[in-house]
Amino acid sequence: MVSVADANREAALWSLRSDLRIAFYRMVAAQERARLVTSGIDQVQQLAQVLRRREEEGEGSRYDRLRSERELAELRTDLTAARSLVAAAAARVAAFLPEGAEVHEVRGELPVTIASPALENLVRRAQAARADYLAEQKNLTRYQLEEQAARRLRIPEPQVAGGVKRADVVAAAGPNFVSNEAKTGFAFTVSVPLLVFNKGQYEVARYRAEQEQASARTALLARQIQAEIMGARDVLAIRQDALAAYVREMESTGNELTRITDVAYQEGEIGILELLDSFRVNRASSLRRLDLEASVKEAFIELERAVGEELSKEVRP
């Protein structure tokens, strides 16, 4: 029973630790989102300053300057929303810490650097590491021991007792034959219970039924573990493939698109709208990549939750 309680405690701690890691990396993603928006603000702010000088010198249009300032105002609103996400994520992380603790900033890496092991290996590791699965196995062992103890009730157990006893006895000599005399002696008793009604048959039947239930729960949990691992592994593979494909697409077209837009604007072939649209597209691409990396990280943590142990040696929060 103590071993079962310890295993249940370990299962609860592992679930809480997985929740903490998800909250931690969500804050990492929120901070990175705020950083990307801040970088976009700096980029547009530099452009607005250039356009303002050109307007003052009579070489630029008022429209271009106003349009850049409007874009800057939109980005500052986005930054406020991003910072609110950081604050909400910090509150979730602080909920796992001692009372009074405050979280202002965290540091971590979102990219997953290892590949998922084979399904058979993951299932084997889960059956050796999952605390809830081990608890059911220990429950089965417990009920087997309880049944053995119940079977012993069918065997009468004699009870032996001994000690010193003091009693008054009738004197056999002397002037008064009816007087009592106090004497001390050793008393020894043996008692054997007769098992007429309770021979342990009810306890044996009870714990045998408990064993069957524990065996059924263990088999069901084994199937559930396999299904959880399969689902988490498939989700991780899909998200990893989507991230890899998106990164390849960005590397092949993103840099070239930015270079063409900059050159075209400098030569007067495109206007401010096209340039700001290029900035917006690049920023949206970076944010989309961030979302994909965060989703891959969460899927990897969920896979580790299903396995019951860490699959990598990276630093944990």
Q: What is the pLDDT of residues 172-231, one digit of tens each?
A: 555 555 556 677 777 878 776 666 566 667 788 888 898 888 889 889 999 999 999 999
Joined tokens for residue 145: 């021991």
Range with the poorest average pLDDT among 27-31, 116-120, 180-184: 180-184
Q: Please give the tally of structural domains in the chain.
A: 2
Asked whether residue 169 falls in the same domain as residue 302, the answer is no
pTM of the complete model: 0.77
Give φ, ψ of 226 to 5 degrees. -65, -40
pLDDT of residue 317: 42
Asked whether residue 129 falls in the same domain as residue 149, the answer is yes
Asked whether residue 184 falls in the same domain as residue 294, the answer is no
Q: Confirm whether 314 is domain-assigned.
A: no
pLDDT of residue 167: 72
Boundaries of domain holding 36? 2-157+193-307
Give φ, ψ of 312 to 5 degrees. -135, 170
Which of 25, 42, 21, 29 is closest to 82 using CA atoms? Answer: 29
Tell me the pLDDT tens digit for each residue of 57-76: 877 788 888 888 999 999 99
Which of 63, 9, 7, 24 is closest to 316 using CA atoms? Answer: 24
Q: Report whether 220 contacts 198 (CB < 8 A).
A: no
Which of 89, 118, 114 is closest to 104 using CA atoms? Answer: 89
